[in-house]
Structure 1
Amino acid sequence: MKRNLLFVIPSLSAGGGEKSLVNLLSQINFEYYNVDLFLFTHDGIFMGYLPKEVNVINLPEDYKLFSLPLLYSIKELFIKGKFNLIYNRMKFALNNKSNKIVSIKEQESWKYISKSLDKLERNYDVAIGFLEKTSTYFCVDKVNASKKIGWVHIDYDQLGMNPNYDIKYFNKLSNIVTVSEECANILRKKFPSQSKKIEVIYNIVSPSVINKMANIEESLYDKHHKEINIISIGRLHYQKGFEVAIEACKKLRDKGFKIKWNIIGDGEEREKLIKLIKENDLQNHFKLLGLKANPYPYIKQADIYVQTSRFEGKSIAIDEAKILNKPIVVTNFSTAKDQINDGVDGLIVDMNSNSVAIGIEKLIKDNYLRNNLVHNLSNLKLGTEEEIEKLYKLCD
């Protein structure tokens, strides 16, 4: 008999966790598993990549009304006579306005959002909250399942969350999965009572799929003589440190290097970054390309991949750049050494614009180093499709 699995994630918009879920679902053996997916928002660039066997659960009507803009939400809820939900919708809005820390805001918001959601009718063998916070809270409070699993995709210490809030939910989970050994060590230190529950399952990446998709488009860059094309991928968010990238680009430009640096991603810092680009007169050198469902041709055709993050769990984008054999420069965030062996398959530099610029300059000037990195990358086994077996083990 097939086992019934439920995955929960806020949306399938751009992001490492979202891409990780789509990759994981593409590897599941649907002969043995029925898979439902609960999304709080039914949109995002990865929706079209879901396997056809995955059943996306319809959103409850009360939640649809609750999630409308405030005045529209109150009006529609009033018409329906949902006065308790009106109270909670207003409290939700006040919480979002008064709470300055994004992660704390999301934690505190759950008690108001949850009022608009009933328990799911179906019983599951395993329910998986595939992102920290709301996805896990939903699994614990709103799902009947024999086993419940929470997934943490990031360095927990860097999230700015209230661990006293999470421990109440972690206590009710069968397992807590994270994406790297360093992330697991951080969780064990933060939640020693949960140590035995913590498991590592690496993000699933498939070299065959990535290489196939990388060849779909040709000649994305209008390359000029001695021009260096750099690519970075990530949400336009403080975590990714793209203002450091802009400063590094300026330093390289001022030294006379012909640089074209493209960023794939979108987010709340777009306007701030556009302003910085203009202030530094980098409009012809630093471009925000927005979201791309298929970023692989951009990576393949670039000369260098750069990641200027302040913190990461395990970056899928870095793994993808490694698969496409790109020389890589990453900042020294806490989990960088989980992915890059400095000087062997990439360079790890200090978390400032000067160090990033020096690392890039080194790759531009030193042909031997650059070729050696590419050679070493080409000899690595980088596919992680077998990680799905770890999930099967937890589910069974």
Structure 2
Amino acid sequence: PRIIILMHYMELGGAEMSLIGLLGALDPTKVDVDLFVYSHQGPLMQFIPGHVNLLPEIPAYSVIERPMSEALRRGHVGVVAGRLLAKWKFRRFRRRNPAVGDDGAIQQYVGDCVTPLLPPINPEVEYDLCISYLTPHNIGRDKVRARKRLAWIHTDYSTVDVDAERELPVWGAYNHIASISSDVTASFLKTFPSLKNKIIEIENIIPGDYVKSRAETPLGCDMTADVKPGHEVREITLLSIGRFAYQKNFDNIPSICRELINLLSISRFCTAKNYDNASEIMHRINTAGISDVKWYIIGYGGGESLIRDKISEAGMEEHVILLGKKDNPYPYIKGCDIYVQPSRYEGKSITVREAQILCKPVAVTDYPTAPSQIKNGVDGIIVPLDNDGCARGLAHFIADTELQSRIVDYLRTHDYANTSEVEKIYDMLK
């Protein structure tokens, strides 16, 4: 059987990393795989497995998400016209629906307006299965010849605004819809209940050996410079990874960190109100010699200036450190004490799974899909999403070294790579 997988680009991101996992898990003796990447950009391009046939870039596809001025310079007037039409139609939709945000619905308008202007993909081949890995899924529906089609959901649909009437025909054209968790399925079906029979849940496949081998790279001094091994005073190092975007909630890390530092001081623990077992927590903190916190953030994006402003407002310049974009974040995960995912919402965080593969204690906020990501108290913990609650939850977790040890022991004996999920793809081809 022959399949084709469609992807926008190979930047550092959860969907891109899960695609690397899927490509690595597909057995070349069982299936021939073509990969079409709209724009051959991103550090993960180099990690596309050798048995995967990377199709040549088609110029018109490469500028779909580039600045319009660049698309014009390259001569793609049609794509620019389609994007401008999509913007105009989206603005009309927002005028009728003023509560709609910018993140979700406009993608479908771009898909509808730009796809008809694009050439077909590898038209001489009829594939047994076409997999469209990211929305909008118009291209996989209209530009590939295939006997079966599979579209992927990577996000929590309860958190994004979409034009459901416009999206439904696109999803409906696919034979199967892959959801990465039961919570993602539930939120998707609230928006598209008629698609229930098309859903199949396929966990993200993480390239475990790749993660572990890359984690062995020596850690840069930008994270270790403040660590003082052998000193009586111990710093706890926290780490978060993701795009600098509203979803990830990094703009609240400075406030959370400030409250966490206050909670870790003995005087605050003695006077803290509504805080369970304050004396026990104080004793644990004191015994461990913990007196300071460094919270590192790896990522990039348009929200960086907001995060820096919040760091300054909270006076956390010495405690919340932006490390920027890292092509290899795994040594940093291995080098931290606790990995924290403070998101406002997630589909199913890849970086949480990567931290679990590296046997790191993990804390996530109580976003809607968190229970499908973490078994609370077993392979990580779930803390409240509000800043004060998050700080209290992290303080408890930092103090409870026994719980951290139990979680690490559990992680060492369980497989979070999910490579067996690839069998569901083979089943579609039978």
Residues 14 and 45, structure 1, Cα contact 8 Å, conserved in 2: yes
Pair 1:300–1:141, CA change in 2 (3 A): same
Residue 276 (structure 1) aligned to one of 297, 302, 310: 310
| Aligned-pair CA distance for 1:173 | 0.5
Return 5+ residue gaps in structure 1 as ranges.
none
Q: Where do 1:282-297 residues align within 5 Å?
A: 282-297=316-331
Structure 2 counterpart of 1:230, which letter? L
Count of aligned pairs: 388
Aligned to 2:26: 28
Range with greater deviation from structure 2 (17-26 or 114-123): 114-123
For 1:16, which of 11, 14, 37 is the aligned residue?
Answer: 14
Q: CA deviation at 1:72?
A: 5.2
CA displacement at 1:92 relative to structure 2: 4.6
Contact kept in structure 2, 1:126 and 1:395, CA below 8 Å: yes
- Partner of residue 88, structure 1: 82
Secondary structure of the corresponding residue to residue 323 of structure 2: strand
**Alpha-carbon deviations, 1:107-163, whole Å to 9, x = none?**
1112332243112213211111112x22x2110111110001100011122121122
Q: Does 2:371 align with 1:337?
A: yes
> Which residue in the other structure is 2:163 paired with?
162
What is aligned with 1:395?
A: 429
Root mean square deviation, CA, Å: 2.4
Q: 1:343: Cα distance to partner? A: 2.1
Q: Distance in 2 between matches of 1:118 and 1:39?
A: 14
Provide Cα deviations, 1:7-51, integer angstroms capped at 9, x if missing partner: 111111121111000111011111232222222221112111101
Q: Say whether 1:302 aligns with 2:336.
A: yes
With over 3 angstroms needed to count, the CA separation of the structure-2 counterparts of 1:347 and 1:63, relative to structure 1, is: closer
Work out the CA distance in 2 between the residues paired with 1:198 and 1:226: 48
1: CA distance between counterparts of 2:206 and 2:61?
A: 34
Alignment of 1:311-390 (within 5 A): 311-390=345-424
After superposition, what is the alpha-carbon deviation per residue over 1:322-362, rounded to whole angstroms, capped at 9, x for unaligned? 22222221111121111212222222111111111112211
- Identify the residue that residue 185 of structure 1 maps to in structure 2: 186
CA deviation profile, 1:46-104 (whole Å, cap 9, x unmatched): 11110123233333344456766434544654xx9x6x666435435656888751211
- Shift in Å, 1:294: 2.2
What one-letter code is carried by the residue in structure 1 that aligns with 2:343?
Answer: S
Give the aligned residue type for 1:198: I
What letter is aligned with 2:323?
Answer: L
Return the letter of the residue paired with 2:10: L
- The 5-angstrom pairing of residues 233-252 of structure 1 reads 233-252=241-260
Greater alpha carbon shift after TM alignment, 49-58 vs 15-24 = 49-58
Distance in 2 (alpha carbons) for counterparts of 1:68 and 1:311: 26
> Whole-Å Cα distance in 1 between the matches of residues 335 and 85 of structure 2?
49
Q: For residue 105 of structure 1, what is the aligned residue in structure 2?
A: 106
| Structure 2: distance between partners of 1:49 and 1:280 | 39
TM-score (norm 1): 0.90
